[in-house]
Amino acid sequence: MRIGVLGLQGAFREHVMTFEALGVATVVVRLPEQLSDINGLVIPGGESTAIGKLMMAYGFYDAIRQQHGAGMAVWGTCAGAILVAHEVLDAVPGQETLGIMDVAVRRNAYGRQVDSFEADLDFKHLEGDAFRGVFIRAPWIERVGEEVEVLAEHDGHIVAARERDMMATAFHPELTGDPRVHRFFLDHVVASS
């Protein structure tokens, strides 16, 4: 088992640290060639337009679609959730996504920077207490396709979902020190790819 975290921009180091704390071999992915030896890829939070531009420049769009087709699981957090979505509402004009997950995601849904907040979430399948969600200029998931399982909602909006070997979270589980969502990704999302 080996996990890659896309390291072009944003909060990728925290994901690496969380997986390493779980004892999982983790690599920072900076080139498309690195995708061939990982079982799962995390596209981190950050700025979806910046990450998307760098992904385009390095040829990641085709490479991720291809490796995902060959069995690589994918998890997008925050900006990453925007980048995996079929549809983005309030996108920057011309913003391109991977379009691999059957969800419509609304960018900056809660407003601007000042609207960053934390909230306790009832995250399906996790044992124990509520999961503390850290939302930073977060999107929410406005619609999900038939094959998509809703994992968490906040204030009537979907903030985490899973479709077979893909997961999207609107918040930042890597910033809480609570590894349960990372564990869920390994045990259920990667395991089903």
Binding site for ligand GLN (CB under 6 A): 45-48, 78-79, 82, 107-108, 136-137
Q: Does 125 participate in catalysis according to the annotation?
A: no
Give the burial class of 81: count Cβ atoms within 10 A of its Cβ; 0-12 exposed, 13-18 middle, 19 or more buried.
Answer: buried
Q: Which of 40, 28, 56 is nearest to 3 (CA)?
A: 40
Least spacing, CB of residue 23 vs ligand GLN, in Å: 27
Distance set, CA 86 to CA 47, 58, 83 (Å): 18, 21, 9
Q: Cβ 70 to ligand GLN, closest distance in Å?
A: 27
Q: Which of 78, 154, 163, 182 is catalytic?
A: 78
Among the options 15, 68, 154, 172, which is catalytic?
172
Q: 14, 68, 154, 174: which is the annotated catalytic residue?
A: 174
| DSSP character at residue 117 | E
78 is catalytic: yes
> Looking at beta carbons only, is 49 or 67 nearer to ligand GLN?
49
Residue 82 or residue 98: which is nearer to ligand GLN going by CB?
A: 82
- CA gap 85, 154 in Å, rounded: 19
Residue 139, helix vs strand vs coil: coil
CB of 119 to ligand GLN, least distance (A): 15
Q: What positions carry a catalytic annotation?
A: 78, 172, 174
